[in-house]
Amino acid sequence: MNFKLNNGVEIPDVGLGTWLIDNDKVADVIKNAVSVGYRHIDTAQAYENEEGVGIGIKSCGVDRKDIFVTSKVRAEYKDYDTAKKSIDESLKKLGLDYIDLMIIHCPQPWNEYKVSDNHYYKENREVWRALEDAYNEGKLKAIGVSNFYIDDLKNILESCKIKPMINQILTHVGQTPFETIDFCKNEGIVVEAYSPIAHGEADRIETVQVMAKKYNKSFAQICIKYCLNLGLVALPKARSIEHLRDNFDLDFEISDDDMEVLKGNKPLSDYGKADFFPVFKQSDK
C-alpha cells in the first residue's frame, strides 16, 4: 500500500531502515529486501552508508523509478549553504539524479537533542529553505522533517513556501506521540514511524508479548502492524533475509479492541486471563 503525500507523490507504507548497517554491507541487504518486496529505502547522511545504498539500488534489478529513496540532512547542519551543499553531496554519494525524500534529521544537533532549550528556529528555517530550493530544482521529489515536535513544526509552517510532507518520529508500542501525530495529520503531513520495533526491544513489552501469542505472529509483525493501523509509514530495520521477510509479511489484522490495548487505552486486565492464556498454551505446543 502507498500513502499519498500532500504534493501527490506516493510513498510505500513499509520501508527498510538502514541505520547501523555498514556501508560495505548495506547493498546486499537492499538487494535482499527488494527481492522480498520492499520498494522504500531509508538512509541518512549521518548513517555514512549512502554510497552502499546507492550501489544496492542500482544493482537490485528493479527500475530506479520504482524505488523510493529517503535521505536526511545531518542534524548538525544548521545553515543554508551547508545544508544545500550536503544535498548535492548525498546525490553524488547515492549516484542518483534525484532523491525521493530529503528531510531535516533533527531540529537540534544530536548532542543537544532534548537537553537544550535552543530550538534552532531561525536555523531550521534556513535549512528548510535549502530543501525548498533543491525541491524546486528537481533534485528532490518530496521534503520533510524528522524528530520535530509541534513547536518545531509550527516554526516551519509559519514561514515556509512549501509545507513539509513528512515528519519521521520515534513511534512504537509504549512510545506513541499521539498529540504530534494528530497535529501532523491535521496539517496534511504524513507521519513515518522509525524504530517501530522499539530498537529491537519489543519482546520486552508485555502487551506486545500477549498480542504476538494471540495472533501467532512475531513481536516485530505486531509492532509494524500497530504503526500501519495508526495510519503511519513504518520503517523497520533488518539485516537477515529471514527478518526482512518477517517484517514484510503483514497480511493479518489486529482487532480494534486489541489496538486499544496496544495504544495503552485499555489495560490487559480488562480482558481477563481466559481470553489470552489458552492461546499461549496452544501456540507453545
| 68 DSSP β-pair partners | 40
**Amino acid at position 262, single letter:** L
Residues facing residue 146 across a β-bridge: 168
Ranges assigned E (strand) in 33-189: 40-42, 68-73, 101-104, 143-146, 166-170
At residue 35, the 3 state secondary structure works out as helix
In the residue annotation, 194 being an active-site residue is answered as: no
How big is the chain by its Cα radius of gyration, in Å? 19
Q: CB–CB of 13/234 below 8 Å? A: yes
Residue tagged active-site, from 47, 135, 215, 226: 47
Residue 145 identity (one-letter amino acid) = V
DSSP state of 204: G
From the number of C-beta atoms within 10 Å of its C-beta (0-12, 13-18, 19+), residue 4 rates as exposed
Write the Ramachandran bin of 206: left for phi over 0, alpha for psi from -120 to 50, otherwise beta: alpha
The catalytic residues are 47
